[in-house]
Amino acid sequence: MYMRKSRLSKSRQDRLMEHFVAGTTARCAAGLVDVNFKTATFYYHRLRMLICLATENESAFAGEIEVDESYFGGHRKGKRGRGAAGKVPVFGILKRGGKVYTKVIADTKAKTLMGIMQKQIKPDSIVYTDHYRSYNVLDVSEFKHYRINHSKLFADKQNHINGIENFWNQAKRHMRKFNGVPKSHFPLFLKECEWRFNNPKPKSQLKQLKQLVKQYMG
């Protein structure tokens, strides 16, 4: 993959990357760096494309794994949670003490979720879920399956999915600042949240972005 070289000066690109890492919106960054709003928005979009490219070949997880689906966007009124109208369903896999993997999905059926898990989780791993019916297939799979019944409690010693639920909260909090993300761009924003979680140190994030820009936009 190769992207056309940016026409922005290196100093402006560096400053935009710094603001991106800091979580500054493109609108605010445009004023701070003294570039057009559309220019800043497009540059941010290219950074997210590079992040998506860098995260697409993550190795499968092993050990203690938490999985969960969540829903982003949609209308506040009406049905919430699973099956809420207008919301984008996403699936997440988190290795305890390690990284998270996310994917936008068409539905939350057992076949859909199982296909992702078999690709991203190594056999014999311990998989923790809630009581959603689509996870029933894990009881007769190559994984060791534990459930937590959220109608009764949120954690029972090691049996919980608090890690992946904390990630969803972080991702939604980050996306709220944009006052709506176009559905066509949502997968890029989701991968950005995944990347930030997996690389929590700002210095490391900035270093990675500069390397990606040099490699694909140099």
CATH at residue 121? 3.30.420.10
Q: Distance between CA 76 and CA 34 in Å, rounded?
A: 36
The pLDDT assigned to 58 comes to 84
Same domain, 79 and 115: yes
Same domain, 98 and 116: yes
Distance from the Cα of residue 63 to its chain's centroid = 21
Token reading at 22: 């800091």
- Does residue 80 surpass a pLDDT of 60? no
b (16+ CB within 10 A) / e for 185-211: ebbbbbbbbbbbbbbeeeeebbebbee
Report if residue 2 sits inside a domain.
no
Q: Distance between CA 27 and CA 50 in Å, rounded?
A: 20
Q: Distance between CA 126 and CA 133 in Å, rounded?
A: 18
Report if residue 1 sits inside a domain.
no
- Does residue 185 surpass a pLDDT of 50? yes
- Does residue 85 surpass a pLDDT of 90? no
∠ CA 150-79-75, nearest 5°, is: 120
Same domain, 166 and 101: yes
Q: What is the mean pLDDT of residues 121-128?
A: 97
Same domain, 31 and 81: no
Q: Distance between CA 20 and CA 174 in Å, rounded?
A: 12
Closest CA to 62 of 157, 127, 136, 158: 127
Report if residue 144 sits inside a domain.
yes
Average pLDDT, the chain: 90
Same domain, 138 and 52: no
Report if residue 178 sits inside a domain.
no
Q: What is the mean pLDDT of residues 155-176?
A: 89
Same domain, 68 and 158: yes
- In this prediction the pTM is 0.91
The pLDDT assigned to 150 comes to 60
Structural domain boundaries, residue 49: 10-57+183-217
Q: What is the mean pLDDT of residues 177-191?
A: 91
Q: Distance between CA 99 and CA 191 in Å, rounded?
A: 12
Report if residue 48 sits inside a domain.
yes
The pLDDT assigned to 99 comes to 97
Same domain, 50 and 107: no
Q: Which among 74-88, 94-108, 152-166 has the top mean pLDDT?
A: 94-108
Out of 39-43, 65-69, 155-159, 182-186, least confident range: 155-159
The pLDDT assigned to 56 comes to 85
Report if residue 207 sits inside a domain.
yes
Instruction: Centre a 10 Å sphere on the Cβ of residue 43 and count the other Cβ atoms it contains.
Output: 24
Contacts of 92 (CB under 8 A, 6+ apart): 67, 68, 69, 70, 100, 101, 102, 103, 164, 167, 168
Compare 30 and 179 and report the one with higher pLDDT.
Answer: 30
Same domain, 52 and 70: no
Closest CA to 103 of 182, 188, 200: 188
Q: What is the DSSP letter of 100?
A: E
The pLDDT assigned to 179 comes to 80
The pLDDT assigned to 1 comes to 59
Report if residue 30 sits inside a domain.
yes
Domain count, the chain: 2
Q: What is the mean pLDDT of residues 117-131?
A: 96
Same domain, 15 and 50: yes
Report if residue 43 sits inside a domain.
yes
